[in-house]
Chains A and B, each alone.
Chain A
C-alpha cells in the first residue's frame, strides 16, 4: 500500500444549511508530503482540516487515511457512516494543533503532554513522562515542564501544544493557522519547531497558514482555495512565481502588499 496516499479526499462536500463550504473536494496527500493550504477567509481551508480531524461531519464523499476510510466503515458489505469505535481507531493516526492552542489550563506543560498517552494509549506514567519530557525538550521547553499554560507565552504554549499532539505518535499532523494568534516576534520560534519536525520526522503535514514565506520555503505543494474549491495547486515556486489562475494572482498580490 506504499503508493496509496496517506490522506485522500474523494468528492467531499460540506454544507452549512444552504451554504456550500467545500464543493466536491478531491485531494490526495502522499506519505511524508508537506502541503500548505492558502486562500482568502471563507474559502473553506480550515474546514478541510476540521473534517479530517472529525470535528466536522461531511455531507458527501469519503475521506481516506492511510489506505482505509475514515468517515465510513464496512457494515454488512456496504459503506456506512463511521461509528464511534471506527472513528476512534482511524482518528488515532491524526494529530492537530489549533490556532488558540487549546491547552488544558489546569495541567502543567508536562501533564498536558502526558494525559492522552496515559488515558488513551494506556502508557504507564513513567513511559508517558519520559516521552513527554523528550518532546518538550525537542520543542525547546525542557525548563518549562512544571509551568501551567497561563505562565507561558503564546509561542511557548503553541510549542507545548505541538509536543502534546506528537506524544500520540500520529502519522499525519494538521496545523490550523498555528501562528495567527501569536505576537509577531513569537512566530519564528513556532515555525522553527515545525521546520525541525519536517526535517527529523516521517510526518505527513497539512497546514493552513497565512505565512506565505514559510509556506513557500517549507511545503512540497501549495493549494490555493477559493470559494470551496482548489483554484490552483502546485510546487511553491511555480504557484508563487508564476500563478496561472487570476484569483491566485489577486490573492497573492493582496497578501504580499499587506506585508
Chain B
C-alpha cells in the first residue's frame, strides 16, 4: 500500500468523523426541539392543532429519509428555494427523526398517571403550567431511554447525506478503501467508528439526563 495514499486517506477519514459528529449534533438538536414541540401539539385539546401534528408525523415518519433529503436538495430548487447541503443535512435528518420523536413524546405524556392530572385539576393548574411543571418532568424521564435509541439511529442515518454531496464517515471510509485497496481496515474503522460515537457520547449523555430526571423516583437517603 502506497504511503501517500494511506496518509491522505487517514486525514480524509478524520475529517469524515468530524463531519458525522457535527451533523449528528445539529440534527439531534433539531430532532429533540421539534419532536418535543410537535409531540406537545399532538396532545393539544384543540383538534386543528392535533391534526397538524398528525400530518407532520405521518409525513416525516411515513416516507423515506433519503427521498426526503432528495426533495429538500434537488426538488426545492425547482421552486426557487436552494438550500446548502449542510442545511439539508442538519434539518433534513433532524426533521425526519423528529417525526418519530414526537410519537415518543406523545406516548410518554399519555403514560403519566391519571391521578397526576386529577391532582392538577384539584389544585386548579392552568393547562400549560400543568404540562410544564408536573407532566413533562415525569414524561421526560419516561421517554429518555427511547430517545437514546432514536439518537443512535439518527447517527447511523447521517450516512445518507453522502447522496447530497457531503463526505461523512462512511463515504470517507469507502473512498479510503477504494484508494488503498484495504477494505478490511477501513470498513472496520467505519464499523467501530459509529459504535464508539454512540457508546462514548450518546449513551453516557442520555444516562446522565436519566439520572437528573430521576430524583424522587429512586429510593435514596434524603439530603
**Interface residues, chain A, CB within 8 Å of chain B?**
53-55, 88, 91-92, 94-96, 98, 100-108, 115-116, 119-120, 146-151, 164-165, 168
Contact = CB atoms under 8 A, between A and B. Distances in A.
B201 to A, nearest CB: 27
A106 B138 contact: yes
Interface residues of B, number: 26
B210 to A, nearest CB: 13
B71 interface: no
Contact of B217 (A100, A103, A150): A150
Given A91-B121, A120-B129, A151-B220, 4 more contacts: A106-B215, A119-B125, A148-B222, A150-B217
Contacts of B121: 53-55, 91
A151 B222 contact: yes
Interface stretch (B15-23, B112-120, B187-195): B112-120
B126 interface: yes
9 contacts: A53-B118, A88-B126, A91-B124, A102-B118, A104-B134, A106-B213, A146-B222, A150-B216, A151-B220
B133 interface: yes
B159 to A, nearest CB: 38
Contacts of A150: 216-219
Which among A55, A102, A149, A164 has the greatest number of chain B C-beta atoms within 10 A?
A: A102
Most buried by B among A92, A95, A106, A150: A106
B122 interface: yes
* Main DSSP-derived SS at the A contact region: loop
Contacts of B219: 150-151
Interface of B: 113, 115-116, 118-119, 121-126, 129, 133-134, 137-138, 141, 213, 215-220, 222-223
Contacts, number: 75
Nearest to B134: A104
B216 A105 contact: yes
Nearest to A90: B124
A104 B124 contact: no
A46 to B, nearest CB: 12
Contacts of A106: 137-138, 141, 213, 215-217
A102 B124 contact: no
B92 to A, nearest CB: 35
5 nearest A-B residue pairs (beta carbon) = A148-B216, A102-B115, A116-B123, A102-B119, A96-B122
B216 A92 contact: no
A104 B217 contact: no
B216 A107 contact: yes
B142 to A, nearest CB: 11
A120 B125 contact: yes
A55 B126 contact: no
Contacts of B125: 116, 119-120
B119 A104 contact: yes
Nearest to B215: A106
